[in-house]
């Protein structure tokens, strides 16, 4: 019996400590230390090395330690027919909402623009926008998108959402499916992508979609780099159709230093840190799922085998 932690970002000890604190009775191992592979029932994973999940003959659950699970499916040796769970956590959702709202307010008040003016010694006021003037369109109204939508409504923004199925969120106009996408985009001034990355959403942020946004629209991608066609974004920023893009996620992370996003004046980057799992907040649900696994109960936050999110 036990849990193996598989991740390559130097945080194995952090997760181990948190697990030990909440459930000292569960044996927990880092994947690089000596451990009894046949005893492992659960793997707690973030961006695993390819093939690292294959050596556990009695594995019964793969738990992503984040909201996303797309990285698991990139592994051709991912064991099939084992339940996958993901994290649904109040802080993960709130942190994301606060990050996106900070970006939206920076746009309203032209803060990125003034930072450049400051560097050039330029004193030149330009008109700002008001909350009441802005329509925010959120693609993806899952655990994260819903919290953001509620927070934006609370602040008085006009909010609309496009998602895989109709979502009934008070004050949020709901759209779904490809036939309703054009109407959703037509009135969206700031587009926020919070979709899961699946084969159906890969490359969804492309020229054909950007063209349907009003001229001057802003893009915020805090989901996955794979949603975005980088070249299409650059073209739309350069031809003036889009005003700016705030990106937290990239095809390759860290983003290679020669990528044009680094130096582009209309691209505002953060290093995939909009919202990160807080071990103390997340570990109780991992421990609860381990308990459920051991007693044959239904797991929390199970990923759909067909939808893959
Ligand atoms: C972060 O990207 C996550 O999926 O939790």
In this structure, is residue 275 part of a structural domain?
no
Please compute Rg for the chain using Cα positions. 21
Query: What is the 47 CA–ligand 1 centroid distance (Å)?
Result: 10
The whole-number pLDDT of residue 258 equals 98
In this structure, is residue 79 part of a structural domain?
yes
Q: Are residues 95 and 224 in the same domain?
A: yes
Q: Are residues 101 and 119 in the same domain?
A: yes
* Ligand 1 neighbour 66 (Cβ under 6 A): yes
> Which CATH number characterizes residue 95's domain?
3.40.50.720
Distance CA 266, CA 268 (A): 7
Distance CA 182, CA 229 (A): 19
From the CA of 272, give the closest atom in ligand 1. Answer: 2
Distance CA 105, CA 136 (A): 12
In this structure, is residue 302 part of a structural domain?
no
Residue 14, domain extent: 2-89+281-295
Q: Are residues 75 and 185 in the same domain?
A: no
The whole-number pLDDT of residue 98 equals 98
Q: Are residues 110 and 18 in the same domain?
A: no
Query: What is the 66 CA–ligand 1 centroid distance (Å)?
Result: 5
Mutate-to-test residue for ligand 1 from 249, 274, 275, highest number of ligand atoms within 8 A of CB: 275
Q: Are residues 160 and 258 in the same domain?
A: yes
Is the CB of residue 75 less than 8 Å from the CB of residue 48?
yes
Q: Could you report the per-residue pLDDT of 52-80, keeping only the tens digit for each?
A: 999 999 999 999 999 999 999 999 999 98
Query: What is the 92 CA–ligand 1 centroid distance (Å)?
Result: 8
From the CA of 87, give the closest atom in ligand 1. Answer: 5
- Residues of the chain falling short of pLDDT 50: none
Q: Are residues 107 and 239 in the same domain?
A: yes
The whole-number pLDDT of residue 154 equals 98
From the CA of 65, give the closest atom in ligand 1. Answer: 5
Among the options 35, 259, 264, 272, which is catalytic? 272
Q: Are residues 235 and 196 in the same domain?
A: yes
In this structure, is residue 212 part of a structural domain?
yes
* Ligand 1 neighbour 68 (Cβ under 6 A): yes
Q: Are residues 253 and 131 in the same domain?
A: yes
Query: What is the 87 CA–ligand 1 centroid distance (Å)?
Result: 9
From the CA of 275, give the closest atom in ligand 1. Answer: 1
Secondary-structure breakdown of the chain: helix, strand, coil percentages, each rounded to the nearest 5:
35, 20, 45
In this structure, is residue 274 part of a structural domain?
no
Q: Are residues 57 and 146 in the same domain?
A: no
In this structure, is residue 232 part of a structural domain?
yes
How many domains does the chain fold into? 2
Written as six digits, the tokens of 83 are: 């339940």
In this structure, is residue 37 part of a structural domain?
yes
Mutate-to-test residue for ligand 1 from 85, 276, 286, 309, highest number of ligand atoms within 8 A of CB: 276
Distance CA 55, CA 281 (A): 29
Q: Are residues 13 and 30 in the same domain?
A: yes
Identify any residues that bridge with 63 across adjacent strands, giving them in sequence order. Answer: 44, 85
In this structure, is residue 265 part of a structural domain?
yes
Q: Are residues 22 and 97 in the same domain?
A: no
Q: Are residues 81 and 103 in the same domain?
A: no
The whole-number pLDDT of residue 107 equals 97
pTM: 0.96
Q: Is 272 considered catalytic here? A: yes
Query: What is the 67 CA–ligand 1 centroid distance (Å)?
Result: 5
Is the CB of residue 61 less than 8 Å from the CB of residue 82?
yes
């Amino acid at each position: 019996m036990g849990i193996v932690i598989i991740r390559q970002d130097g945080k194995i000890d952090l997760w181990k400590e948190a697990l030990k604190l909440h459930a000292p009775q569960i044996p927990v191992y880092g994947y690089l230390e000596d451990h009894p592979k046949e005893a492992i029932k659960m793997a707690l994973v973030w961006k695993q090395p390819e093939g690292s999940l294959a050596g556990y003959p009695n594995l019964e659950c793969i738990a992503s330690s984040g909201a996303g699970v797309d990285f698991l499916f990139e592994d051709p040796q991912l064991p099939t027919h084992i339940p996958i769970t993901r994290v649904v956590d109040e802080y993960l959702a709130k942190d994301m909402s606060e990050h996106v709202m900070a970006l939206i307010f920076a746009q309203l008040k032209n803060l990125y623009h003034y930072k450049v003016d400051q560097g050039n010694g330029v004193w030149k006021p330009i008109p700002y926008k008001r909350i009441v003037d802005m329509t925010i369109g959120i693609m993806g109204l899952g655990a994260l998108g819903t919290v953001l939508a509620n927070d934006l409504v609370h602040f008085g923004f006009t909010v609309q959402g496009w998602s895989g199925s109709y979502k009934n969120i008070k004050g949020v106009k709901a759209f779904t499916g490809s036939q309703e996408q054009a109407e959703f985009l037509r009135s969206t001034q700031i587009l926020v992508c919070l979709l899961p990355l699946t084969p159906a959403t890969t490359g969804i942020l492309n020229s054909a979609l950007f063209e349907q946004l009003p001229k001057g629209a802003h893009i915020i991608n805090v989901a996955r780099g794979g949603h975005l066609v980088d070249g299409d974004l650059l073209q739309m920023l350069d031809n003036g159709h889009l005003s700016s893009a705030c990106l937290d996620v990239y095809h390759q992370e860290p983003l290679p230093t020669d990528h044009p996003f680094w130096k582009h004046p209309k691209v505002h980057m953060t290093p995939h840190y909009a919202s990160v799992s807080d071990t103390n907040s997340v570990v109780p649900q991992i421990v609860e799922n381990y308990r459920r696994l051991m007693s044959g109960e239904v797991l929390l936050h199970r990923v759909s085998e067909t939808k893959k999110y």
